[in-house]
Amino acid sequence: MAPEKSEQGKKVVYMDNNATTRVDPEVLAAMLPYYSELYGNPSSMHTFGGQVGREVAAARARIAELIGARPEELIFTSCGTESDSTAILAALQANPEKRHIVTTRVEHPAVKNLCEHLDRLTGHKHRVTQLPVDREGMLDLAQYEAALSEDTAVVSVMWANNETGVIFPVEEMARMAKERGILFHTDAVQAVGKIPINLADSVIDFLSLSGHKLHAPKGIGVLYVRKGAPFAPLIIGGHQEQGRRGGTENVAGIIGLGKACELAAARMAEENGRVRQLRDKLERGLLEKIPNSMLNGHPEQRLPNTTNVSFEYVEGEAILLHLDQFGICASSGSACTSGSLEPSHVLRAMGVPFTAAHGSVRLSLSVYNTEEEVDLVLARLPEVIAKLREMSPFWKASHRGEVGGANCPCACS
């Protein structure tokens, strides 16, 4: 496979797979006929459309198999965000007399902003509990249990965090919700394809996934709705998806996702073996080579491909721009370009100190990454941090013991 190239023709070292992934060449090859000769509508009565309908059904079965679901429990959507909204709104509609949502402080905006929006929209009639996390990004199950009440309509807790990779015990949490008759949704957008998921053994009611996180294209998502769980469509229109989501299906996207799920199942061992080893080598090397660095997130309860490391007294965005010059793609929990100097809500919820949260970098790998690429990042990133620290008034002040004091460069005292 040809290596990715940047605009300048430089080889790209892509370690931003939690943002999006490369469409696998086998996935693309499976999709292409559905843009050319196989353009029929799967709902058509004629044979030409019917053959497409059969391939959509086969793809549905492949996707269901990866997560231990029945094919009829899957609804195709446009993305993870649509799946999240559909699930939470369906659960609320099923329980109109209940007004309480339980979620966490570290959800992706697809869930977090929806819950906050509902709270505002209904004049705070929808009470939202956002569970806190500890310094390692983990939830306290006793606190969770205490938050569940007679008024709780739905719990929405992510399977794995997109910034830190921390994995939550959603199956156990779903059981606790079920005992109290509460519907349970999980945003598994980052988990599907990276760790084993078997919904047949769980009582989870709704699960969201998104194609572009597992080497399928952007624009295709799935909502799993457990057989028997109450449901109301978000998009009302034609009879597609058994009346559960109107709109002509994204056929090529569905075929691509089917192939991607087949590949993910076959590569699960590699993801949890070779990719995890690469991630661990990268993480260990960075923490050893760079002083004043720290891991964000639980060391074990984590996706195999993700590491989030903070480098004190430097700015995450500056790190990314320097890495970009070497063709290295990563992301940061700091968002100065958005006009706010606030670090990510995830790192803030974890209580990561201000001086470290600003200098956080997320590196997320995939089966395409090589040891050579890890070695390149291990050579370049320490240089970048050293260079930025030379210019950082905070780094210098930290050595004089002034940060947080009367002479702190940010005038915080």
Binding site for ligand PLP (CB under 6 A): 79-81, 108, 110, 158, 162, 187, 189-190, 210, 221
Q: How far is the CB of 386 from ligand PLP (least distance, A)?
A: 31
Q: Please tell me what DSSP assigns to residue 132.
A: -
Q: Would you say 349 and 106 are in contact if contact means Cβ atoms under 8 Å apart? A: yes
Q: How far is the CB of 190 from ligand PLP (least distance, A)?
A: 5
CA distances from 67 to 96, 109, 173, 254, 352 (A): 30, 24, 18, 16, 34
H-assigned helices in 326-403: 345-349, 354-357, 371-391, 393-399
Q: Distance between CA atoms of 214 and 126, rounded to whole angstroms?
A: 34
Give the bridge partners for 337, in sequence order. none
Query: Of 204 and 388, which CB lies nearer to ligand PLP in the complex structure?
Result: 204
Query: Of 171 and 402, which CB lies nearer to ligand PLP in the complex structure?
Result: 171
Q: How far is the CB of 320 from ligand PLP (least distance, A)?
A: 17
Query: Of 187 and 373, which CB lies nearer to ligand PLP in the complex structure?
Result: 187
Specify whether 408 is catalytic.
no
CA count, 13 A, side-chain hemisphere, 134: 8
Query: Of 42 and 80, which CB lies nearer to ligand PLP in the complex structure?
Result: 80
Query: Looking at beta carbons, which residue is closest to ligand PLP?
Result: 80
Both tokens of 244, joined, read: 């559960």
Query: Of 79 and 347, which CB lies nearer to ligand PLP in the complex structure?
Result: 79
Q: Could you count the other beta carbons within 10 Å of the beta carbon of residue 177?
A: 25
Give the total residue count for the chain. Answer: 413
Q: How far is the CB of 210 from ligand PLP (least distance, A)?
A: 3
Q: How far is the CB of 158 from ligand PLP (least distance, A)?
A: 5
Amino acid, res. 114: L
Q: Please tell me what DSSP assigns to residue 271.
A: I
CA distances from 333 to 255, 323, 358, 409 (A): 34, 15, 7, 22
Q: Distance between CA atoms of 84 and 111, rounded to whole angstroms?
A: 6
Q: For residue 279, give the 3-state DSSP assignment.
A: helix
Query: Of 129 and 162, which CB lies nearer to ligand PLP in the complex structure?
Result: 162
58: CB partners within 8 A, 6+ apart? 258
- Cβ-count burial of 310 within 10 angstroms (0-12 exposed, 13-18 middle, 19+ buried)? buried
Amino acid, res. 70: R
Query: Of 78 and 398, which CB lies nearer to ligand PLP in the complex structure?
Result: 78
Q: How far is the CB of 152 from ligand PLP (least distance, A)?
A: 22
Catalytic pick from 336, 408, 410, 412?
336
Q: Could you count the other beta carbons within 10 Å of the beta carbon of residue 288?
A: 11
Q: How far is the CB of 198 from ligand PLP (least distance, A)?
A: 20
Query: Of 38 and 335, which CB lies nearer to ligand PLP in the complex structure?
Result: 335
Q: How far is the CB of 242 from ligand PLP (least distance, A)?
A: 22
Q: Which of these, 374, 341, 338, 375, lies nearest to 359 by C-alpha position?
A: 341
Pairing of strands 360-364, 152-156: unpaired
Q: Distance between CA atoms of 26 and 31, rounded to whole angstroms?
A: 9
Cα radius of gyration rounded to whole Å, the chain: 23
| Residues labelled catalytic | 336
